[in-house]
Amino acid sequence: MKIAVCVKQIPDPATPYQLDPNTHLVVRPDEQILDDTDRYGIEVGLQLAAATNGTVVLVSMSPAGNLQGIRQALAMGADKGVHISGPALEGADAYVTASALAAAIREIPHDIIFCGQRAIDDDAGQVGSMLAELLGVPQITVVTKVEVEGASVKAIRPIEGAQLLIESPLPCVITAQKGLNEPRYASLPGIMKAKKKPVEVRDAAALGIPTDRKLNVLRLVPPPARALGKIISGDDQAAKAAALAKLLREEAKVI
């Protein structure tokens, strides 16, 4: 089975970062790490590849850098990577990102495509669905179980109070979330092998990717400061409870 996994390189959340005052975008450092939510898609891809004697190809779009995040994913066991980059992709929104991934995936043999549910940095959760639409294939989002049977796949998607069992023909796009599996840690041999695994660099302009963003950040406004809480004092517990109920009803208006 030929498996494509979309991964994203992001700035390390534990490291302070800056916002460009003109574009309101994150100033991305050269060193970036693998988005944690992508690990679930990588893991299920590796498991399917092991069961079917298949291959796992990583596809990523990000500014040029040291590819640390992609190497982290290769160290988990993926076979190769495809990195899409170019000046025109700076500040790409979900549509441009999905267009870039779709352009590269069209040139890669694939039976199934995995994405993370949402990236940590922008928390959009849109790329997987847009990617499926651009490729013209079905999509199953936010899944917690995947089973491939011949030319079709069955997946479990949780909803409030129940679970959906969804079946789809292949190829399709599946977005993975926490609970699907327990992603493996990269072993020392895996880390060493990742340094030699191929990463094909694709130029965005050569792929003919549309760069007209559908979303632009106009301004950033910090959230308002939270008001100080109220303390109900006194020794009479019944009176304090009555005062609390009155505040919840008349001021907070939650009861």
Locate tokens 């979309």: which residue? Answer: 6
* Angle made by CA atoms 120, 124, 130, in degrees to the nearest 5: 125
Q: What is the pTM of this model?
A: 0.82
For the domain 2-207, what is the CATH superfamily, name and number? HUPs (3.40.50.620)
Q: Where are the domains of the chain?
A: 2-207
Whether pLDDT at 30 is above 80: no
pLDDT tens, residue by residue, 50-80: 999 999 999 998 876 678 889 999 999 999 9
pLDDT in tens, 209-232: 887 888 888 887 878 888 888 888
Pairing of strands 152-159, 162-169: antiparallel
Strands (E), the chain: 2-7, 9-10, 33-34, 55-61, 80-85, 112-116, 139-143, 145-149, 152-159, 162-169, 173-176, 199-203
Tallying the residues shown for the chain, one arrives at 255
Q: What is the pLDDT of residue 54?
A: 93
